[in-house]
Chains A and B, each alone.
Chain A
């Protein structure tokens, strides 16, 4: 059974800091890994999708990396802004499966 853990559960940083959110998974036989953002009262917005054959994906100030062998992914946010405040969730799809396993998320607060 795949288990996904996100550390830390909550993070508070001042504006402008570079930060890293962590995601770990127990079964390295994955198809892909997806990072989502969720604002309060809203749905999940897909940020980045990394296929199992890839090492990283970048979108603007966001960079996600994947290390299958160690069962880890990181989401790097450069020059954080108050608008980045949200909950960030990591989800993993195992090979041969159609469903994703979600972590419980990291709640990020970026203060002005």
Chain B
């Protein structure tokens, strides 16, 4: 398997622009997670999905952030409008349902976002 695939790897944009990050989870995985990593706050869970349904979005910082999972093989994280404080590395991760797998979590390479 190719692993969790994220795009773009790097994104530089100006404040106020819309940013869309994409993720393809590992085939057969039931759960998809979006994390944000910064030096100050470490890894933060933003939102996660189970079988394409959002389960917990309490980590989404503001209404400017939204996430969708239209099917089992694709998810997006959108920021509109973007602000400099959104600059971070955004990770997508996936795992199988406990009972169908070990619960091991696999991460993508991340999308580094810089908002000027």
The interface of chain A, by Cβ under 8 A from chain B, is 31-32, 34, 36, 41-46, 49, 51, 89, 91, 93, 98-100, 102, 104-105
- Whether the pair B91, A99 counts as a contact (CB closer than 8 A) is no
Of listed A51, A98, A99, residue having the most chain B CB within 10 A: A98
Contacts of A45 in B (CB 8 A): 107
Contacts of A91 in B (CB 8 A): 105
Q: Are B104 and A49 in contact (CB under 8 A)?
A: yes
Majority SS at the chain B contact face: strand
Contact check, A42 vs B55: say whether CB atoms are below 8 A apart.
Answer: no
Taking CB atoms, residues of chain B closer than 8 Å to A89 are: 43
Contact of B91 among A44, A51, A100, A104 (CB under 8 A): A44
Most chain A CB within a 10 A radius of its CB, from B103, B108, B110: B103
Interface string of B89-116 (1 = CB under 8 A from A): 0010100001000111111111010000
Contact partners of B45 in chain A: CB under 8 A: 99
On whether A98 and B105 interact (CB within 8 A), knowing A89-B43, A104-B42, A105-B42, the answer reads no
Q: How far is the CB of A29 from chain B (nearest CB, A)?
A: 15
Closest to A104 in B: B42
B33, B105, B108, B110: the one contacting A46 at CB < 8 Å is: B105
Contacts of B91 in A (CB 8 A): 43-44
B106 closest partner in A (C-beta): A46
Docked pose: A41 CA to B91 CA in angstroms: 12
A32 cross-chain contacts in B, Cβ below 8 A: 102-103
